A and B are shown apart, each in its own frame.
Chain A
Amino acid sequence: MLLDVPSFYYLALSAVLFTIGTVGVLTRRNPIVIFLCVELMLNAVNLSLITFSRTQGYDGQIFAFFVMTVAAAEVAVGLGIIVSIFRQRHNIDVDEVSILRG
């Protein structure tokens, strides 16, 4: 192997990135930033899937591929929702749109 770093290091890094993303989702109120933090969490999980695929076969890489596809669909729908909320009330603070009615 070209760069022999133990898998454990990658898993620890993945856990740190996932936690940073979770704290961002819990504390920020701008929905765009919340989406960015969700992307961060998805990527942290992808990192651990690919780490496992090094020792467990190619299934992890294919799963990461599916995660990317789902993330793309999720971003498209989420940004569509943000655009349509913004069009109605010109303010998208998540605490003020907590009741999901137009």
Chain B
Amino acid sequence: MNGGLIAFWIIAAISVITALGVVLHRNAIRSALFLVLNFVCLAVFYVFLNAQVLAAFQILVYAGAIMVLFLFVIQLLNLGGELSPTDPLVGQRAVGLLLGAGLLAGLGKAIDFARTHSPGLAPGAERVLAAERGGISQIQIIGFDLFTKYVYPFELTSILLLVGVIGVMILTKRRAGQGTTDAAGRS
């Protein structure tokens, strides 16, 4: 067993345990902190997979910005504790687990099929290998693709973010005569 495989198994175990912690923990704050750890594990995998740019984005955007927003809202609304203990939907947990098992079986079958019917290297992979050999920086290639081949989707994401910002402003705006306390800085 080589070193890469051992590192993979250790970090895979940590990421699965933290993912289970997100789902199983009663306290929403601890769930969020488990998720931060899970994101860090995934960033390590991105480095293993030679996607250093995405690893940096993962830490900066996900573990940094998005999770801070989550923790901020949990603390602001004081949602740390558990909700009402009684379960109004009978059998929700059992059905959820059953559907999850079915999904995992289906995905496992698909991955097994992909493993035995591997298409091999695609034409685009030559660029990856050439860049690795020639020492061309990855962010250069990704930036070039983003502004040439994917320029329209890229511009659309800016519109999406603008719509998101305006939507949040309208959703959380306080209408006249509704409530009295002033809460600045809502997401």
Contact = CB atoms under 8 A, between A and B. Distances in A.
A binds B: yes
Per DSSP, are chain B's interface residues mostly helix, strand or loop, or mixed? helix
Interface residues of B, number: 88
A49 B49 CA distance: 11
Interface in B31-57: 31-32, 35, 38-39, 42, 45-46, 48-51, 53-54, 57
Contact of A70 (B115, B141, B157): B157
By DSSP majority rule, is chain A's interface helix, strand, loop, or mixed?
Answer: helix
A71 B66 contact: yes
Q: Size range of the interface on A?
A: 35 or more
Contacts of B54: 46, 50, 61, 64-65
Contact of A79 (B92, B111, B125, B187): B187
Interface of A: 1-5, 8-13, 15-24, 26-30, 32-33, 35-37, 39-40, 43, 46-47, 50-51, 53-59, 61-62, 64-66, 68-77, 79-84, 86-87, 91-93, 95
